[in-house]
Structure 1
Amino acid sequence: MSHHFAMCLKNEGYEASLEPRKLYEVLPDASAEKQEMIRVVDESGEDYLYPASWFIRMPLPESVEQQIASSF
């Protein structure tokens, strides 16, 4: 399974859930994307929707994605 990541740029109102400049795992959600949202696994360990503009997707080599995913 391929893992994808995004860096948090903004956390206004969600300071306990998101840390700026931190990588978060992105889960596929076509419905959320249509609404300009992104589904990420946040600090709670659960996945939630946040505005996509708060993140920048970080394309990483597959080997790096696997290493990061295995550390969660």
Structure 2
Amino acid sequence: MLKQYTHLRFTVCINDGGYIDDLKVRTVYRVLPDESAAKSNYLRIIDETGEDYLYPAAYFVLIEVSPEAEEILLLTLQGSEATPA
């Protein structure tokens, strides 16, 4: 079976919207695909709790990263999601 590669999406938070325990400004977050949310200008983000939630897209700036950086970010973010606050 061939391994499927998917392009991961990442974003930087520019506004915590008052969710001070869940989002941190200037922090990189992983974006999960959610077409329905995108139609309403929301992004599905894995936040500081390690869970995915919908947040207004205006709170974030999508960033482009190389495949090598995607892998490093994914490993780094998975490690931080597993760390209790």
Quick one: higher RCO (CA 8 Å, sep 6+), 1 or 2? 1
Deviation sequence 1:21-60 (CA, Å, 0-9, x none)? 0000000000000000000000000000000010000110
In structure 2, list runs of 5 or more residues that go unmatched: 1-5, 79-85
2:3 aligns with: none
Spell out structure 1 runs of 4+ moving beyond 2 A.
none
Bigger Rg, which one? 2
* Superposition deviation, residue 70 in structure 1: 1.6
% of aligned pairs identical? 38
Determine whether 1:53 maps to 2:58.
Answer: yes
What is the aligned counterpart of 1:31 among 33, 36, 44?
Answer: 36
Note the aligned Cα RMSD (angstroms): 0.9
Matched, 1:67 2:72: yes
TM-score calculated relative to the size of structure 2: 0.81
Picking from 2, 7, 24, the partner of 1:2 is 7
Unaligned runs of 5+ in 1: none
TM-score, scaled to structure 1: 0.94
